Amino acid sequence: MPLRRSLPAGLLLALLLLTACTSAPEDPGPAPAGGGPFPVTVEHAYGSTTIPAAPTRVVALGVSDADPLLALGVTPVGLSAFSSYEQTGGLGPWARDRVQGEPPVVLTGDPNPERIASLRPDLIVAVSAGLDQPTYDVLSRIAPVVARPAGTIAFGVPLAEQTRTIATALGRAEEGEQLVAQAEAAFAQARAEHPEFAGRTGTAVLPFDGRYGAFTDADARGRFMTSLGFTLPAGVAEIETGGSFYAELSSERLGVLDGDVLVMLADQPALRAAVDADPVLQQVPVVADGRMVITDADTTGAMSYNTVLSVPYALERLVPQLSAAVQKAPPGN
């Protein structure tokens, strides 16, 4: 099952889970998730799922679903993750110290029912994932499966909905609300401390295969920017994405990226070299004037996850760079 059928191969490799597997743990798993009345029922895109008792062995199939689980004190027995963290147990630096007991098994590629069944889960969380109905049906024979909320797109579930869905499945809805409030307060504090962001335009962009993907607010990276007070440049906002989470731009269309700031997710040497060598990009005023921020790998990861755990990490690293860039922009740009 292709997880993002609409993605070009280069962007697919840059965004999705290509992580390495480890062996399944021998211990009986983490302590019970508990905390609320069971059974609980969670509504989602494929109907509803009832979890009969507090789960003790949770598999996180969504690429960032481990973060809210860990924030709620539950270490998954298996997880999917972005490829950049395949050598670190599938977790970003903002989440690694939350692991309790045996580290999770890292799952790669499309969901493998046999591999997942071998972990003996009593709950499968696939909120930030591209699960389709047939795969959901197969996995539901292994354990209760919680998919993305109805009305959301694959890999496009906002932080609040992701956290609330997972917290409800664990019987910890109130704790989930507290985590959402903390993340929203962190963004609010950043906006209050940086009023220069208000009304400014900015885009997060990923270079791939000689082209660029400008993320809209249907994506975690785009929502990170809007949560800070930025809006998309008009040229990007007007591009028809076909319901996708990004606008694909060839060289002749790079002028639409011009705004007050540009966040370029070129954290790999080859990507950075391609960006630096692109003569068309270098002529776009936001780049020519030194208002392009190039992120490192962990800032890219934290922004891409945009979870209750990664938000403070991303804000600490990115906000000062955005502020410096915006202050170079002409008034009313």
* Model pTM score: 0.86
Whether 183 maps to a domain, the answer reads: no
Q: How many domains does the chain have?
A: 2
Q: At residue 188, does pLDDT exceed 90?
A: yes
Nearest partner of 127 among 89, 153, 95, judged by Cα: 153
State which of 174, 207, 225 marks the end of a domain.
174
Residue 34 has pLDDT above 50, yes or no: no
Residues 16 and 146 placed together within one structural domain of the fold: yes
| 22 pLDDT tier (thresholds 50, 70, 90) | very low
Final residue in a domain of this structure, among 174, 202, 233: 174
pLDDT of amino acid 331 = 82
Q: Examine the domain organization and report whether 147 and 209 are in the same domain.
A: no
Sheet holding 261-264, edge to edge: 246-249, 211-215, 202-208, 261-264, 292-294
Indicate if the alpha-carbon torsion angle 295, 214, 308, 2 is positive or negative: negative
Q: How confident is the model at residue 12 (pLDDT cuts 50, 70, 90)?
A: very low
So what's the pLDDT on residue 8? 40
User: Rounded to an integer, what distance in angstroms lies between the CA atom of residue 57 and that of residue 88?
Assistant: 21
How far lies 53's CA from each of 50, 122, 123, 135, 171, in Å? 9, 9, 10, 23, 9
Res. 44: pLDDT tops 80:
yes
Q: Are residues 73 and 208 in the same domain?
A: no
Mean pLDDT over all residues of the chain? 88
Whether 184 is covered by a domain: the verdict is no
Report if residue 1 sits inside a domain. no
pLDDT of residue 240: 67
If asked whether residues 198 and 321 sit together in one domain, one would say yes
Q: Using the 3D structure, point to which of 150, 174, 198 is the last residue of a domain.
A: 174
CATH code assigned at 277:
3.40.50.1980
Question: Is 117 inside a domain boundary?
Answer: yes
- Residue 286 belongs to some domain of the structure: yes
- 23 pLDDT above the threshold of 90: no
What domain range is 278 assigned to? 189-326
**Same domain as 151, residue 25:** yes
Do residue 132 and residue 199 come from a single domain? no
Same domain, 94 and 228: no
Q: Is residue 4 part of a domain?
A: no
Same domain, 149 and 71: yes
pLDDT tens digits, 295-333: 999 999 999 999 999 999 999 999 999 999 999 998 865
Q: Which of 6-15, 111-120, 194-203 has the lowest mean pLDDT?
A: 6-15
What local confidence, expressed as pLDDT, does residue 9 receive?
36
**141 and 206 together in one domain:** no
Tens digits of residue pLDDT in 240-298: 676 678 888 988 899 999 999 999 999 999 999 999 999 999 999 999 999 999 999 99
Mean pLDDT of 214-227: 93
- Total residue length of the chain: 333
Which residues in 70-158 belong to E strands, given as ranges?
78-79, 105-106, 123-126, 145-147
Q: Is the pLDDT of residue 75 over 50?
A: yes
Q: What pLDDT is stored for residue 330 in this prediction?
A: 87
Does some domain include residue 2?
no
For residues 316 and 254, membership in a common domain is answered with: yes
Helix residue spans in the chain (DSSP H): 9-15, 66-71, 113-118, 133-140, 159-169, 173-193, 220-227, 234-237, 269-276, 279-283, 285-288, 297-305, 310-326
Say if residue 79 is in the same domain as residue 169: yes
Same domain, 161 and 72: yes
Residues 6+ apart with CB under 8 A from 302: 92, 94, 310, 311, 313, 314, 317
